């Protein structure tokens, strides 16, 4: 384990070298552990069939490059990060941030028109659900990626919190609540996440029928595609409320067993991405609607990222530390991928934030706009000093 200060000083040197790297922490990490992979050469690596091992960074579109930092080409570092003070994610602070980045009227109009067009298309029976998003670019007073990432680590302990750099993509940061795929041997886990409301310290969370139905669409679709892909023993949890920064979502955990064949986990990834949590239903029609109407390139937003086929050593029993039991430790491959939400691209002195939401027949344009404003707060809150 490296000392944190030593790591960040090393990272600053690495940034000067312009070689790729990624720093990341898993959600709810009990021992405060943060991981990093610092690529030790200037080559550009891509992922072709998900048989590779390393950290993957994939765009929304299946026509663009999927980047990879291969395990064999990078120095692997771990350190522990303890927040300087207990920062909470409550509403008061969110409202306070509002003044730093005023909203533009034109952005609102454009987004509401886009949503209305989708609602009309859905009502005409061409679509069931489509996720529509926008990009908001703001000036950052101190655009130091390391400073901003430390804020992110302090603030969002229940998210997958990352800082990525590649000479061809530039800097990306994010705090996403959504697991795309977790595999360990032949077990896997994914989740259906949808429905959004503000967290207001409410003791009882009430969900509207619209949100309940929207989230169920996502769950049903995922269950169906998994069954079509030969996944066995599929189980799902009851829907529960998941807190992500200043927001609440409805979540269903889905687990199962998959048969490993020569294609590895590629069929699983290809059937899940993009889920109706970020694209829509039916998938191809929704994708078409997005590409034709959103009017900007999502790049890595609503793509996915994380550890791919990484070798992990596990003790058979975490309590058995004596010599005798050492022989029971095993090495196996695991994958932990997340959907790239609540993220931003850092470029020059600007940050581009990406935010969206699911549209169904019952969606109201102004409420959908507000939802994106609220989602943007997650990342705006870490930009300020």
Ligand X SMILES: C=C(O[C@@H]1C=C(C(=O)O)C=C[C@H]1O)C(=O)O
Smallest distance, Å, CB 195 to ligand X? 5
> Contacts with ligand X in 141-200 (CB under 6 A)?
178, 193-196
Residue 59 or 195: the one with the smaller Cβ distance to ligand X is 195
The residue within the footprint of ligand X, chosen from 115, 341, 379, 381 (CB under 6 A), is 341
* Binding-site string for ligand X from residue 260 to residue 279, where x marks contact by CB under 6 A and - marks none: -----------------xx-
* Binding-site string for ligand X from residue 71 to residue 110, where x marks contact by CB under 6 A and - marks none: ----------------------------------------
**Binding status of residue 27 toward ligand X by CB under 6 A:** no
- For 26-33, the CB contacts below 8 A with 24+ separation are 26/160, 26/336, 27/157, 27/158, 27/159, 27/160, 27/177, 28/157, 28/158, 29/157, 31/80, 32/80, 32/81, 32/82, 33/78, 33/79, 33/80
Smallest distance, Å, CB 324 to ligand X? 47
Peptide bond into 274 cis (omega under 30): yes
Smallest distance, Å, CB 306 to ligand X? 16
> Contacts with ligand X in 218-257 (CB under 6 A)?
249
Smallest distance, Å, CB 218 to ligand X? 8
Q: Using CA atoms, how far apart are residues 26 and 306, in angstroms rounded to an integer?
A: 10
> Contacts with ligand X in 109-148 (CB under 6 A)?
131, 133
Residue 36 or 337: the one with the smaller Cβ distance to ligand X is 337
For residue 245, CA distances in Å to 89, 90, 266, 376 come to 6, 8, 31, 11
Contact by Cβ (8 Å): 299, 331? no
Contact by Cβ (8 Å): 367, 208? no
Q: Using CA atoms, how far apart are residues 32 and 272, in angstroms rounded to an integer?
A: 30
The residue within the footprint of ligand X, chosen from 375, 379, 380, 381 (CB under 6 A), is 375
Closest residue to ligand X, judged by C-beta, is: 358
Peptide bond into 282 cis (omega under 30): yes
Smallest distance, Å, CB 117 to ligand X? 17
What is the CA angle 12-17-20, rounded to 5?
90
Residues forming contacts to ligand X in the complex (CB under 6 A) are: 131, 133, 178, 193-196, 249, 277-278, 341-342, 355-358, 375
């Amino acid at each position: 384990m490296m000392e944190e200060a030593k790591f960040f000083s090393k990272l600053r040197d690495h940034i000067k070298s312009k070689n790729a790297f990624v720093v990341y922490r898993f959600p709810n990490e009990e021992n405060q552990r943060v991981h990093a992979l610092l690529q030790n050469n200037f080559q550009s690596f891509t992922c072709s069939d998900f048989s590779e091992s390393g950290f993957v960074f994939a765009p929304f579109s299946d026509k663009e490059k999927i980047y990879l930092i291969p395990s064999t080409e990078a120095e692997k570092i771990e350190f522990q990060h303890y927040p300087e003070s207990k920062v909470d994610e409550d509403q008061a602070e969110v409202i306070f941030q509002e003044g730093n980045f005023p909203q533009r009227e034109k952005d609102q109009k454009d987004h509401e028109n886009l949503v209305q067009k989708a609602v009309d298309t859905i009502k005409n029976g061409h679509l069931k659900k489509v996720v529509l998003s926008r990009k908001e670019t703001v000036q950052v007073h101190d655009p130091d990626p390391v400073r901003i990432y430390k804020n992110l680590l302090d603030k969002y302990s229940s998210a997958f919190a990352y800082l990525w750099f590649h000479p061809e993509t530039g800097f990306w940061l994010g705090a996403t609540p959504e697991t795309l795929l977790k595999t360990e041997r032949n077990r896997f886990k994914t989740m259906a996440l949808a429905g959004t409301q503000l967290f207001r310290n409410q003791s009882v969370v009430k969900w509207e029928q619209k949100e309940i139905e929207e989230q169920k669409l996502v769950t049903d679709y995922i269950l169906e595609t998994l069954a079509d892909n030969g996944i066995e023993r599929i189980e799902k949890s009851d829907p529960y409320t998941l807190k992500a920064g200043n927001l609440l979502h409805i979540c269903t955990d889905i687990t199962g067993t998959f048969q490993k064949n020569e294609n590895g986990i590629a069929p699983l990834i290809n059937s899940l991405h993009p889920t109706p949590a970020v694209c829509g239903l039916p998938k191809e029609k929704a994708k078409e609607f997005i590409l034709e109407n959103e009017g900007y390139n999502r790049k890595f937003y609503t793509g996915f990222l994380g550890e791919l086929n990484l070798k992990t050593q596990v003790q058979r029993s975490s309590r058995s530390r004596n010599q005798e039991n050492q022989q029971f430790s095993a090495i196996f491959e695991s994958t932990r991928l997340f959907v790239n939400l609540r993220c931003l691209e850092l470029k020059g002195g600007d940050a581009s934030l990406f935010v969206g939401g699911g549209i169904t027949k019952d969606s109201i344009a102004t409420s959908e706009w507000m939802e994106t404003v609220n989602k943007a707060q997650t990342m705006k809150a870490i930009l300020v000093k």
